[in-house]
Structure 1
Amino acid sequence: MSSKRTLVAVLLATLWATSSLSPASAETAAKPPAPAPATQAQIDRNGLLILLRNALSALDQANKTGNYTVLRDQAAPGFAAANNPARLGEIFAYLRRDKVDLSGALVMEPQLTVMPEITQNGMLHFAGFFPSASSRLNFEMLFAPVDGQWRLFGLGANLGSAAPAAPVPPPAPAPAPGAKKDEKKPPKP
């Protein structure tokens, strides 16, 4: 499951719990509205690293123990209401199944691909990855303001390729019908 799909799954579950939509009516509803414009977040790098590493550490411990209670209880009330520990276990089962160790995020430097921004509904959003030699850990996070603190509202994480893949060259053009092949004769001794 991709990071975006995981984040969307967690966010949809949260939206169902905090709105009048039920999961069934949300599935049959028309396309979701276009994302609202965001503004740059005023958060320093250390604050961002604390949020990022705390969330990934909680997810890593939950995956290793199979207990998602602490991850759920640290999150924003809307996230907690929409996601019981069993549901979080289902959402992140692919990380457990693949035995993904997220603890490297505690010491590696993240590379941001989406700079911290405040969404129109007042949430902090950012995304990026932790590079490593063999693979990279991609992440996307959303935090809600709760009592003057940022609390986890959406989380996506997955492993991706460590290096960008080289483009595949197009196949060589086929000779035109009736065209003679350029036959090269072997050199004379």
Structure 2
Amino acid sequence: MFAACFIAPPALAARAAAAPAQSGTAQPASRPAQIDRNGILILVRSTLLAVDQANKTGNYTVLRDLGAPGFQGANSTAHLGDVFANLRNQNLDLSAVAVLEPQLTMVPTIEPSGMMRMTGYFPSAPLQINFDVLYEPAAGRWRLYGVAINVSPAVPVAPSQPQSR
């Protein structure tokens, strides 16, 4: 779905695959996350703005340090620079996410691993900013564990029709 970049520790796949084997039963299904609109805005915007600032400065230290311990352990700042090189080399400006409202394409869910996933886009033009983010609970808050970002041509949305009275 997202070809530009995806970064998550390899342990994520291993954790998901091991869960059914460890319990001896079927893996539990994802469930809706208990998060309000403001929580969604804060997490998604701060994540994408951190990527944007790292791309603009070439310094991925803060992005790495904001991540969950597993994210930090799996990603050096140099590796993050390599992962986001495509976005950085295209000079993509993601700062519009500071003022645009993200449109979620699925309800935020708690995955069987206990991580929260949010997928959607920011309706910017001429390019739409698509995201898929994964957060791990650490020290009482959600911290970045994986992120996928790409851009695609914006899809025009028809204006809503006024309702007749």
- TM range, smaller chain: 0.7 to 0.9
Counterparts of residues 26-41 of structure 1 (less than 5 Å) = 37-41=29-33
Counterpart residue identity of residue 118, structure 1: I
Q: Which of structure 1's runs of 4+ aligned residues deviate more than 3 A?
A: 16-19
What's 1:6 paired with? 5
In 1, Cα distance between the equivalents of 2:50 and 2:130? 16
Counterpart residue identity of residue 51, structure 1: L
The unaligned stretches of length 5 or more in structure 2 are 15-26, 157-165
In 2, Cα distance between the equivalents of 1:138 and 1:67? 22
RMSD: 2.2
Match 2:126 to one of 129, 134, 143: 134
2:148 equivalent to 1:149: no
Q: 1:18: Cα distance to partner?
A: 10
Counterpart residue identity of residue 75, structure 1: G
Match 1:15 to one of 4, 7, 10: 10
Identity %: 49
Q: Answer with 1 or 2: which has the greater Rg.
A: 1
TM-score (norm 1): 0.71
Q: 1:37: Cα distance to partner?
A: 2.5
Counterparts of residues 29-178 of structure 1 (less than 5 Å) = 37-163=29-155
CA deviations over 1:105-157 (Å, ceiling 9, x no partner): 00001111121000001100010001123110000000000011000000011
Q: Bigger relative contact order, structure 1 or 2, given CA contacts below 8 A and separation 6+?
A: 2
Counterpart residue identity of residue 10, structure 2: L
Secondary structure at 2:129 match in 1: strand
Count of equivalent residues = 145
CA deviations over 1:29-83 (Å, ceiling 9, x no partner): xxxxxx9631000000101100011111110010000000100001000000000
Q: 1:17: Cα distance to partner?
A: 9.3
In 2, Cα distance between the equivalents of 1:145 and 1:45? 18
Q: Relative to 1, partners in 2 of residues 1:16 and 1:143: Cα closer, same or farther, differing over 3 Å?
A: closer
In 1, Cα distance between the equivalents of 2:55 and 2:75? 15
The unaligned stretches of length 5 or more in structure 1 are 20-34, 165-189
Q: Relative to 1, partners in 2 of residues 1:43 and 1:97: Cα closer, same or farther, differing over 3 Å?
A: same
Mapped contact 2:47–2:144 kept (Cα < 8 A)? yes
Counterpart residue identity of residue 145, structure 2: F
Q: Relative to 1, partners in 2 of residues 1:64 and 1:42: Cα closer, same or farther, differing over 3 Å?
A: same
